[in-house]
Structure 1
Amino acid sequence: MITCPFCFVKVAPNRVAFRCLGPSGRTVGCAPQPDGMLGAFRGGPNPPVLPPVFSVRRPGRRAVCPTCSRESAWRVCPSCHNRLPAEYCANPGKIVALVGAKHAGKSTYIAVLVHELMNRVGEELNASLVPCDDRTIERYKTDFARPLYADHKLLTFTQSSANVPRDPLVYLFTRTLGSRLRRRTASLTLVLFDTAGEDLRQREMSELHLRYLQAADAVIFLLDPLELPGAQAALHGSARERGGTLADDLMSDQMDVVVRVTELLRKRDKGRVTIPTAVALSKIDELREFMERQSALHRTREPIGALDLDDREAVDEQVRALLHQWQAGMVDRYLSQQYDDYALFGLSALGAVPEGETVARSGIRPYRVEDPLLWLLYRFKMLDGIRR
């Protein structure tokens, strides 16, 4: 089965539809017409005008339009009519659900994680991360990379998908494995979808978010330590001003968001949640100086091209201790009761306290931002684990 990365409906390979290429120059093709199904998915008063969608009995990489006889390679989801990237259909996809309350830094995390996978971490892992479609290219550059890396501006809060429909970021991740004599490549498709904290305020989530979470192969929870009452005493300066902003928003409590998402995942798994789940404290740079000097969170991860299992266990234990120290031990207790496979992380996407609405003058210096994904790649059998 193929899970559409846009509407998250599961589609059998023999049910994939195609879109006619339409007329081109002297080449005859079906005339464009309003696509009501795609328009209903994207919202707005005017549906896009595109060549029609058609189905064939035995779809392959290409199919012949039964109306105009033109061959097309534009595969689309029969449920929403969004175009399915060719690489996504050819490689096993992994949908990573990124969730968290408001202000947790989900959009900033995605922006920096993709940048690091394309550069520093990609070089370490001998891996490439390439977008699967033009919409991913455009959205990442427009909504993430340009404002953060070019303009040095903090990203605005993600708006609710009920008001602004958003496309996921779909990337093909490929690693070269083995020795020089016996090299091979392994690929998987990563689907990253940043959920607005506003969309997780109620148990009655939108149908799109229900399907999104039900289709997830892994979950990354981002928790903002600045919103944990026990951690606020350790804050100072601008960090103190940025903490505790959700105290009066009764529906955005971080623990409540964890519970809402967990209840949905439990219904899917009919019991304890079985998919790997990473729970990360974001913005950890603003609290590191108050941790003990021997804390594992004072060490940067060594670039060894594998998951350091000893380091992983040390960080997990340190974050667990911090949760209990900051009066948030219930998070860990709840996770242990509901999840078969979860791990705790501490990270910082920016690496330094922002200066107003801009990043620090020292620039973006991510700290352990890749740790949750490396652990997931290990769980997906795309990365080795070693002890040293």
Structure 2
Amino acid sequence: MNVDVITERISNRKAKEVYELITRQTTVSKIDLLDQSGMTVSTLTRLLEELTSQGLILESGFGASTGGRRPILYEKNPAYAYIFGLEISRTLSKLVLVDLGMNKLETKSWAMTEVMTPGVLLPLIVKEAKRMLAHHGIETSQVLGIGIGAVGPVDRVAGVILEPSYFPASGWRHVDICRWLSGELQVPALLDNGANTAILAESWHQRTRSFKHLLYIHAGVGLRSSMVSEGKVIYGAVDMEGSVGQMIIQTDGVAHRNQAGNYGALESYASLYAIEKAAKSALKKGKATVLVHMVEDPEQVTYQHIMEALKKNDPLAVEIVTEAATYFGIGLANLLNILHPEKVIIGGPLITGGELFFQTATQVAIRKTYYYPAYQVVFSKGQLGDEALAIGAAVMVMNQLVKA
């Protein structure tokens, strides 16, 4: 189903401008909208009436009086439509159902095991989406669409997941996911890489604040990044989501696990793979650690085991995580010295695993940032946590309403 059916819901360009102004504020008065839009009173009044009659906006009470009548306040109507947001990642996939205010109605997750091929997962997603709609009494006509944030590289225009690496299951190459889901659910489908959808979510969540340039990095099985400037995602000539992991931080460093990867790449020192590899090597060398009581074979060690050991303040776990975080901080400093974002949001399993990685990495990055302390950057784990990718996929669909 063509996404034009979303953009055509608001056919008037000026109406789109007014709607976007309203959506970026909790509530706003007509007087403020006049100042912000530069429109005449008659034009703005007509557009507000149109948007209200369509159910896109609501009159939400009165503002404070400045001497005359109290001004009417307007806000977006969250119940105008509903959106599905879908995350497709290497460790898990997640479906959320939200209203137009990005209020979550329900969520469902699936572990991405070796059996989770597209042929297995996609029918499960469709079945769950239909169940959610039935449970909440929502008709298909009320669904704006489904947004998908997936591991890259992806073809956003064609709606195809191209050739992602390191999926536990086979089959995740050249998956025509938008066409398939749109056909099964009878709603428009949009695709972008997960780092871009995550930063869209965080940017939308902080839309009333003054941050104009945001950098997002997802640290997990691999490293993924994206950037927003003035509320818009920055795109390169190709899908560059995973390129940050190929940043060379040691020219004579270790070989990348992928033959096409760079020697001494950041991802080889700061990722789930790198941390697990370091732990397995230490166990084989006979290093003292509580990990020996958790597995029979060093090759069985997982990131979860290392996190358990870290909670027990195991010296080896502390050493391994600190070293990975230090390398990550070096790579982060390189990005800061080039891009100079106002705020950096870091997410993913390496960040949610505990404070040690986040604190170590950000402290290293600050020490190696060239213009510090004149250049002050804000570091954050984000406001939406593990649901940022899926929520951001829904934001991507919502943004189509104001697209020209």
**TM-score, normalising length: structure 2:** 0.28
**Which of the pair is proportionally richer in helix?**
2
Name which one, 1 or 2, has greater alpha-carbon Rg.
Answer: 2
More relative contact order, 1 or 2 (CA 8 Å, 6+ apart): 2
